[in-house]
Structure 1
Amino acid sequence: MGQAALAPGFSLNEARIGTVEGGESGLLVWKFGQLVAVLTRIDEEAYSTKGKWFLETGFGLLSGQHKNFDTIEEAVSWVGKYTFPSAANSAD
């Protein structure tokens, strides 16, 4: 996914997330340089969720939330709705 497809202020870093032995493919979601969420790629045939994205953990208003998304764009858009609105609100 190209950065141009992300909402302004967002960036992603690939990471192995230690939720299972060997880890899962995941992404760290940053907004204006602050880590706001950790997403994993669902690799389960059950429940027709393979290839979707799962919010493993979020910070701030996302704390305690868990949700599936069909695409990474959908996930980042949803995360954007529940995090601080702009860089003006972030600490330097």
Structure 2
Amino acid sequence: MGNANIAPGFSFSEARIGTVEGGESGVLVWKSDQLVAVLTQIDEEAYCTKGKWFLETGFGLLSGLHKNFDTIEEAVKWVGIYTFPKPVPAVD
């Protein structure tokens, strides 16, 4: 996964996430030295979501949000957009 192409300024660490016995494939999403999100790859056939990605947990502005994504690239782009939004311009 090319960090610069997906979300500039972000980096990723693959990890096993302990959501089920044996864990699930996951990715820790970092902005600078801050952990901003944990994504897991869904291994669930019952709901036609196998292979998709899930925002397991987010921090800061992503806290409490949960969302499914078709690809890891889509998930990381979304995290990149919503983690640190652009500041609102000052009104004179």
User: Does TM, scored on the shorter chain, surpass 0.5?
Assistant: yes
Amino acid at match of 1:5: N
What amino acid does structure 2 have at the position aligned with 1:71? T
Larger radius of gyration: 2
Structure 1 vs Structure 2: percent identity of aligned residues? 84
- For the aligned residue pairs, the C-alpha RMSD in angstroms reads 1.4
Q: Which letter maps to 2:73? A: E
TM-score, L = length of structure 2: 0.85
Encode CA deviations 1:45-71: one digit per residue, 9 max, x unaligned: 122111100000000010000000001
The 8 Å contact of residues 24 and 41 in structure 1, kept in 2 or not, is answered as yes
Report which stretch shifted further, 77-86 or 50-59: 77-86
Q: What is the rounded CA distance, in whole Å, between the counterparts of 1:24 and 1:54 in structure 2? A: 11
Alignment match, 1:29 = 29
> More displaced, 16-25 or 3-12?
3-12
Q: How does 1:52-71 map to 2 (within 5 A)?
A: 52-71=52-71
Runs (5+) with no aligned partner, structure 2: 87-92
Of stretches 56-65 and 28-37 in structure 1, the one that deviates more from structure 2 is: 28-37
- What SS does the aligned partner of 1:77 have? helix
- Give me the whole-angstrom Cα distance separating, in 1, the residues matched to 2:56 and 2:37: 8
| Pairwise CA distance, 1:5 | 2.9
Match of 2:89 in 1: none
Residue correspondences, number:
86
Q: Distance in 2 between the 1:37 and 1:24 partners?
A: 15
Change (3 A) 1:62 1:28: same
Runs of 4+ residues deviating >6 angstroms: none
